[in-house]
Structures are given as C-alpha cells and as structure tokens.
C-alpha cells in the first residue's frame, strides 16, 4: 500500500528529509526510521527487513508520518499567525 513514495514537488525532498530528521530527534534523515523503531520497540535493521510484521512496519511508518504531519500543521499555523500579525 505504501508504494507511493513519489514526492509531488521533487524540489521539496531536502526539506522533507530535514523535517523527518527533526521529528525523529536525529541529525541524519536516513536514521529517522531506526530512531522511531527503537522508540516503538520494533526491531528494524539496516538492509533487509522483510521478516517484520506489517503491524510493526505500520507502527514505525505511522509514527514517523504522523509526527511529520503534526509538525507541518504547526508550522503552517505559525506562518498564518505571523502573516496576520504582520498585516495589522
């Protein structure tokens, strides 16, 4: 189901990677899923992970994606608030 990894705006890749690292509390976006997996007590190794349960994979992806969405909403609200304050 999650095979739609294509970003609609390819230029946004770097920004999304930085956001991913930020919400996972790491400096390396490639380590983000491993940090989240560790928080969720899911054994995720570098390389092949075809042996993990779909439920566990969902825990990691859902947690990471959910945090990213919450952060994007927060950023958008802050920008709207700033815009409203600037126009007064």
Q: Is 31 exposed, middle or buried (0-12, 13-18, 19+ CB in 10 A)?
A: middle
Say how far apart CA 38 and CA 56 lie, in whole Å: 11
Q: What is the pLDDT of residue 6?
A: 83
Predicted structure pTM score:
0.80
Tokens found for residue 43: 């054994």
Residue 3 has pLDDT above 80, yes or no: no
pLDDT tens sequence across 27-77:
999 999 999 999 999 999 998 999 999 999 999 999 999 999 999 999 999
Q: What is the pLDDT of residue 2?
A: 54
Q: How many helices (H) and strands (E) does the chain have?
A: 3, 0
Q: What is the pLDDT of residue 4?
A: 67
């Amino acid at each position: 189901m999650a095979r739609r990894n294509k970003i609609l705006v390819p230029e946004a890749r770097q920004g999304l990677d930085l956001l991913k690292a930020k919400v996972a509390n790491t400096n390396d976006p490639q380590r983000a899923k491993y940090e989240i997996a560790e928080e969720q007590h899911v054994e995720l190794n570098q390389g092949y992970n075809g042996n993990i349960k779909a439920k566990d994979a969902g825990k990691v992806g859902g947690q990471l994606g959910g945090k990213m969405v919450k952060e994007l909403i927060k950023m958008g609200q802050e920008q709207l608030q700033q815009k409203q304050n600037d126009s007064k």
